[in-house]
């Protein structure tokens, strides 16, 4: 998926505005004005959706950080501690039986 370029949108709008102005009263002028209006409306809708998406992504990132810090990291830390103790227990018992 590719975003809409603001620069390309502005250039296209300028061309439609120029056609609408230069050929005032002509059918192509009316079509250009209608096209310009439709483009601007769609672009505003696009920007609104992008803003909503930014907010959603920020909320997701915040939740992700929170869950990692509060649940995942402590759980992994406990698992690592448990694994270290079980390895130490194994080594100390094997040394006692070997001698």
Tokens linked to 51: 């803003």
Q: In the structure, what pLDDT confidence band is assigned to residue 68 with cuts at 50, 70 and 90?
A: very high
pLDDT at 67: 95
pLDDT at 93: 56
pLDDT at 9: 95
pLDDT at 21: 82
Please report where in the chains the tokens 């696009």 appear, as a residue. Answer: 46
Using CB atoms within 10 A of its CB, is residue 16 exposed (0-12), middle (13-18) or buried (19+)?
buried
* Tens of pLDDT, residues 28-55: 888 888 999 999 999 999 999 999 999 9
pLDDT at 64: 96
Model pTM above 0.75: no
Using CB atoms within 10 A of its CB, is residue 32 exposed (0-12), middle (13-18) or buried (19+)?
buried
């Amino acid at each position: 998926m590719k975003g809409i370029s603001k620069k390309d949108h502005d250039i296209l709008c300028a061309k439609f505005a120029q056609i609408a102005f230069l050929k005032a009263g002509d059918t192509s002028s009316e079509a250009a004005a209608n096209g310009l209006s439709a483009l601007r409306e769609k672009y505003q809708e696009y920007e609104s959706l992008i803003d909503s998406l930014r907010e959603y992504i920020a909320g997701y990132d915040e939740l992700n950080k929170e869950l990692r810090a509060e649940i995942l990291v402590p759980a992994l830390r406990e698992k690592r501690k448990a694994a270290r103790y079980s390895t130490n227990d194994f080594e100390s018992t094997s040394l006692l039986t070997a001698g």
